[in-house]
């Protein structure tokens, strides 16, 4: 399972249980659409850190990095590249 699929599956399990993971557009703004709130963003960060073994810097925890599956994938990619 790739990063996009893992993130989408988590979002479905936690926030959209009646939606297929592949039905969520990568660019859907999860904040503006009301899918997640500030607590939801913290849950997503915790998931990324625990599930993917990342340590996300506090300055990277801004809404534009957490607002969509596309943004989350880019954040993860940037974190992985920063570690390598």
What was the pLDDT predicted at 84?
Answer: 45
pLDDT digit string, tens, across residues 5-33: 999 999 999 999 999 999 999 999 999 99
Model pTM?
0.87
Q: E strand or H helix at 38, and its extent?
A: helix 38-52
For the segment 29-38, the average pLDDT, to the nearest whole number, is 95
Domain locations in the chain as residue ranges: 3-83
Query: What is d(CA 84, CA 77) in angstroms, rounded to the nearest whole number?
Result: 11
Domain 3-83 in CATH: superfamily? ACP-like (1.10.1200.10)
Query: What is d(CA 60, CA 8) in angstroms, rounded to the nearest whole number?
Result: 20
State the Cα angle at 21 between 15 and 25, rounded to 5°: 95
């Amino acid at each position: 399972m790739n990063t996009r699929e893992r993130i989408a599956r988590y979002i479905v399990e936690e926030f959209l249980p009646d939606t297929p993971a592949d039905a969520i557009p990568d660019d859907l703004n999860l904040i503006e659409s009301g899918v997640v709130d500030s607590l939801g963003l913290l849950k997503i960060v915790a998931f990324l850190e625990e599930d993917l073994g990342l340590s996300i810097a506090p300055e990277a925890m801004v809404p534009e990095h957490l607002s969509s599956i596309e943004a989350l994938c880019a954040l993860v990619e940037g974190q992985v590249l920063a570690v390598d």
